[in-house]
Amino acid sequence: MTDMEHDTAAAGAPTRSGFVALIGATNAGKSTLVNRLVGAKVSIVSHKVQTTRAIVRGIAIHDNAQIVFMDTPGIFKPRRRLDRAMVTTAWGGAKDADLIMLLIDSERGLKGDAEAILEGLKEVPQPKILALNKIDQVRPEDLLKLAAAANEMVKFERTFMISALSGSGCDDVMDYLASALPEGPWYYPEDQISDLPMRQLAAEITREKLFLRLHQELPYASHVETEKWEERKDGSVRIEQVIYVERDSQKKIALGKGGEAIKAISTAARKEISEILEQPVHLFLFVKVRENWGDDPERFREMGLEFPR
């Protein structure tokens, strides 16, 4: 079929749309996969576990389907209130989706959290597919054993072998999703890749740069909020953000000696936000101490999380 014939066939086909919840243990590669499938950076990616706090939706168009990805927080054993909120949100996201995609790190297999998630999935009624990630790191016979073990625990419609990093197998996933979602109109305008407000996305990018720079010194007791967003007449945007930490000692770490840490974080974040907005960005970062922000219900609402009682 020529490209023109394919376009004509697609034009006559009914549109499909739906929500796909991507779940998995922390660091299984969910954010990397969403960014790969959507083709743009919409979900924070970091080597720190538990970086995706709220459900970030990336929107992809494939054939005649609009696929809305719900990138849920990694599901793990929660200890703090923030952890509990993230897990509650993850399972809530799964129950709201048309289809659930479980991502398993092939290297780690069913150890720890992956097995617990499979147990939890037994109770979820939606159709489910399995994606084994990082397949280039594992022998083919071990992949087959892993696929068989997971399918014994949960009935998956399909199993895919993929690499979120290289993109191997991702086209097959998209072809399947585009045909499996229900017929119906699209939820979002075609040019809208994410319904996460730009202010929040900008805050997520800064938080990622903060983690990449200070992942050894600064624990999870940090949060970024975009406080001011001013579109200027010259076509640029002025953004003011506050990095909240819980103690003065953490504020010193975030600023760095002579302010070098905050300057480097600001430069890296400004460059990436500017690339996404496709306009010049003036970024101003401030660090403030707010004790016990992790127990404040308002902070949870701003992050799109349910506050656990």
Q: Is 226 annotated as a binding residue?
A: no
* 88 is an annotated ligand-binding site residue: no
Residue 252 labeled ligand binder: no
Give all strands (DSSP E) within 108-208, no chain letters.
128-133, 158-161
d(CA 155, CA 274): 44
CA 180 to the chain's CA centroid = 22
Distance CA 254, CA 175 (A): 44
Q: Confirm whether residue 26 is marked as ligand binding.
A: yes
Residue 27 among known ligand-binding residues: yes
Asked whether residue 44 is marked as a ligand-binding residue, the answer is no
Task: Consult the annotation and say whether 308 binds a ligand.
Answer: no
> Helices 260-277 and 248-255, interaxial angle, to 10°?
70
Does residue 78 have a known ligand-binding role? no
CB neighbour class for 78 (10 Å; exposed up to 12, middle 13-18, buried from 19): middle
Rounded to an integer, what is the distance from CA 256 to the centroid of its chain? 28
74 known ligand binder: yes
Residue 245 in tokens: 């930490």
Tell me the C-alpha distance between 208 and 268, whole Å.
10
- Tell whether residue 12 is among the known ligand binding residues: no
133 annotated ligand-binding residue: yes
Cα 134 from Cα 78, distance rounded (Å): 26
Per the annotation, does 136 bind a ligand? yes
- Dihedral of CA atoms 126, 119, 59, 164 in degrees, nearest 10, equals -130
Task: Say whether 31 counts as a known binding-site residue.
Answer: yes
Query: Which residues fall in the annotated binding site for GTP?
Result: 24-31, 71-75, 133-136
Query: Which residues fall in the annotated binding site?
Result: 24-31, 71-75, 133-136
